[in-house]
Amino acid sequence: MHAELIKEIQTLFSTEEPIYLHEPTFNGKEKEYLNECIDSTFVSSVGKFVDQFEQQIAEYTGAKHAIVTVNGTAAIQIGLIVAGVEQDDEVITQPLTFISTANAIQYCNATPIFLDVDKDTLGLSPIALKTFLENETTQVDGHCVNKKTNKRISACVPMHTFGHPARIDEIVSICNEHNIAVVEDAAESLGSYYKGKHTGTFGLVGAISFNGNKVMTTGGGGMILTNDVVLAKKAKHITTQAKMPHAWEYAHDEIGYNYRMPNINAALGCAQLEQLPTFIASKRKLAESYRTICDTLGLQFLNEPADSISNYWLNAVILENREERDAFLSITNESKVGTRPIWQLMNKLPMYKHCQTDALENAMWLEDRVVNLPSTVIL
């Protein structure tokens, strides 16, 4: 079965050369816009492409405001800060995620709480969230307080895994009942929609990544999404070193961050964004091909959840157990077909072993079985 799948993948990508998990695609005006940026000499954090990219992403996602950052991790961190997360707070998230999610929480000197995910979305489970909040927390002066630690739980960071939307409307509703801000980790889900609304626009703040392996790329880069003008201005201010506007003075009114996206990266982003509908159509077509192949071979393909339109950033199969997973990974990579396992659970990593969790039954089950397949755009 594994050999048959390898042949099918090689046929899909029309090559017997090494097939990578995900590669960027440059078929538009990237060189034209980069040359324009270089000729303007505005290659750093000021220039027309920065403003243009922010405006275009806001229009594409339906967010009222978009603020560029140097990467997606920075976007999550700043999103948490403007959402009100403070030192010694706790932040609920999921253990089945890329480490950026947990690290961004730690950068705020806050502590993650890891709750279980749903098997069909791979995202934070509203049932697990509701159960934890009802049983393990109380309200004190309008704040959600953890009964076990007596610390404030100030935010929740659900993640839209592999571009598949979590049940974000339920998560936001539950968090609103408990006075918890939602910061969406939409790093992987640009171009994904839940109930007709773009991911990253349900919570108080959302974060997108434009890393080189994402659906579209700026080389490195991220974006903060919000509908709150006050939070948008705050995010823009502190990501640009909290510099006060002035023709020549260097005056800063608080601790800021050098998290600005350079104009040259934004230029690349503008060219990539023009091609995004084509990229997503291609990825959805690839997903349909994988679905057909998996049905034929008796493999379980990870489909987009109900009420969702997924960008299928990374395609995935769910295998029988860890032994089959490891054998699959070994055979495919030895055949130069780039596959990878889903991430190790965050609570198993040495720096997060101390963090509070629930039973994590679904997360552990998925950790043993999920494998990503090559997902580069095929034009």
Do the domain assignments include residue 207? yes
The two beta strands, 111-114 and 90-93, are: parallel
Number of domains in the chain: 1
Do the domain assignments include residue 375? no
Do the domain assignments include residue 341? no
List own/partner pairs for 27-36 with CB under 8 A and 24 or more apart.
27/275, 27/379, 28/271, 28/272, 28/274, 28/275, 29/271, 29/274, 30/268, 30/271, 30/272, 32/271, 33/267, 33/268, 33/270, 33/271, 34/264, 34/267, 34/268, 34/271, 36/267
Give DSSP secondary structure letters for 14-56: T-SS-B-S------SSHHHHHHHHHHHT--SS-SHHHHHHHHH
| pLDDT for res 2 | 77
Residue 328 and residue 71: Cα distance in Å, rounded?
Answer: 32
Which domain range does residue 157 map to? 30-273
Give me the helix-helix angle, 263-297 and 48-61, nearest 10°. Answer: 40
Residue 181 and residue 83: Cα distance in Å, rounded?
Answer: 6
Do the domain assignments include residue 40? yes
Do the domain assignments include residue 163? yes
pTM of full prediction above 0.75? yes
CATH number at 257 reads: 3.40.640.10
Task: List the chain residues with pLDDT less than 50.
Answer: none
Do the domain assignments include residue 12? no
pLDDT in tens, 246-297: 888 999 999 999 999 999 999 999 999 999 999 999 999 999 999 999 999 9
The size of the chain, in residues, is 379
Do the domain assignments include residue 325? no
How many Cβ atoms sit within 10 Å of the Cβ of residue 277?
A: 11
Vertex 80: Cα angle to 77 and 81 (nearest 5): 90
| pLDDT for res 377 | 94
| pLDDT for res 160 | 98
Give me the helix-helix angle, 48-61 and 30-40, nearest 10°. Answer: 140
Sign of the alpha-carbon torsion through 223, 165, 213, 343:
positive
pLDDT in tens, 302-357: 999 999 999 999 999 999 999 999 999 999 999 999 999 999 999 999 999 999 99
Do the domain assignments include residue 176? yes
Residue 25 and residue 379: Cα distance in Å, rounded?
Answer: 9
